[in-house]
Amino acid sequence: MKLLKRKLPELRSDRVCCRLLEPHEATKMVDFRKDNKDHLEKWEPRRPSEFFTEGFWQIHLRLALKDFRDGTSACFSMLSVDEEQVIGVCNYTNIVRGTFQSCHLGYALSHRFEGAGVMYEALSLTNAYMFKDLGLHRIMAGYLPHNDRSGKLLERLGFEKEGLARKYLKINGRWEDHVLTSLVNDDY
C-alpha cells in the first residue's frame, strides 16, 4: 500500500513528541547514539563506527522517510517536548500487508530517561497510531530473556508471550535466543 499522501505523524504527550526525524536533524540522532553507546551496546546489533556520524544519519533518515511513504516502515524518534533532543526511538519495520497486516517493533530509550514511564507513554501513542491510522492487525516484538525491563514494558502494554525463538537475532555480535511477543488489534 502506497502512503504517498499520508501526513507525517506527530504524536505528543506531556513528556514526549514522536515523529520521523528530517535529514537536517541528523545531529540530534548522533548525539543520542553517542550518549547511549555503552547503555545500548548489550541490547543491540554491533554498530560500525559510521553509525555515530552525521553523514550516516542523513542518509538513513532520508531512507526512513521514503520507507514510511512506501508503507514499509514507521521509524519514530522520541523527542523531548521542545524537540531539541532525541531521547529514544520506536521503530516499526517489516510492515507486511495482504493477509498478514503486521510489523516488527524495536525500541530504545536514553539512559537519562529510564525508569520514568516515558517509553510506555511513547509506545502507547505509537502502537495506537499503527493500529488506528495505519490499520495494522499485529505488532510483534522480541526481547532477550534476561531483559527484564523490556519484558515488563511489553507486558504492561498488553503484548502476549508466544514462545522462545532459538538464536533469533545477532545482538552485540552473538546469535541470541529471544522471547517472542505480540500485540493484536482485536478491532481489525
Ligand X SMILES: CC(C)(COP(=O)(O)OP(=O)(O)OC[C@H]1O[C@@H](n2cnc3c(N)ncnc32)[C@H](O)[C@@H]1OP(=O)(O)O)[C@@H](O)C(=O)NCCC(=O)NCCS
Interacting residues toward ligand X by CB under 6 A: 40, 43, 107-109, 114-120, 143, 147, 149-150, 152-153
Find the shortest distance in angstroms from Cβ 127 to ligand X: 13
Residue closer to ligand X (CB basis): 21 or 58: 21
Residue with Cβ nearer ligand X (58 or 159) = 159
Backbone angles phi, psi at 122, to 5 degrees: -65, -50
Q: Do residues 150 and 171 lie in contact, with contact meaning Cβ atoms separated by under 8 Å? A: no
Closest residue to ligand X, based on beta-carbon distance: 117
- What does each C-alpha distance from 118 to 14, 16, 48, 91, 126 come to in angstroms? 10, 7, 28, 16, 12
Q: How far is the CB of 103 from ligand X (least distance, A)?
A: 15
Nearer to ligand X, 70 or 160 (CB): 160
Closer by beta carbon to ligand X, 17 or else 108: 108
And the C-alpha cell for 176?
541470541
Nearer to ligand X by Cβ, of 115 and 173: the residue is: 115
Taking the complex as a whole, the smallest distance from the CB of residue 5 to ligand X amounts, in Å, to: 32
30/35 Cα distance (integer angstroms):
8
Of residues 46 and 149, the one with the C-beta less far from ligand X: 149
Residue with C-alpha cell 515523529?
19
H-only helix segments in 53-167? 54-70, 118-128, 148-157
Backbone angles phi, psi at 116, to 5 degrees: -130, 5
What is the rounded CA–CA span in Å between residue 151 and residue 60?
28
In the complex, least distance from residue 6 CB atom to ligand X, rounded to whole angstroms:
27
Give least dist CB 69 to ligand X, A.
Answer: 26
Place of cell 513528541: 17
User: Angle at Cα 134 formed by Cα 168 and Cα 127, nearest 5°?
Assistant: 55
Output the smallest distance, CB 139 to ligand X, in A.
13
Please count the residues of the chain: 188
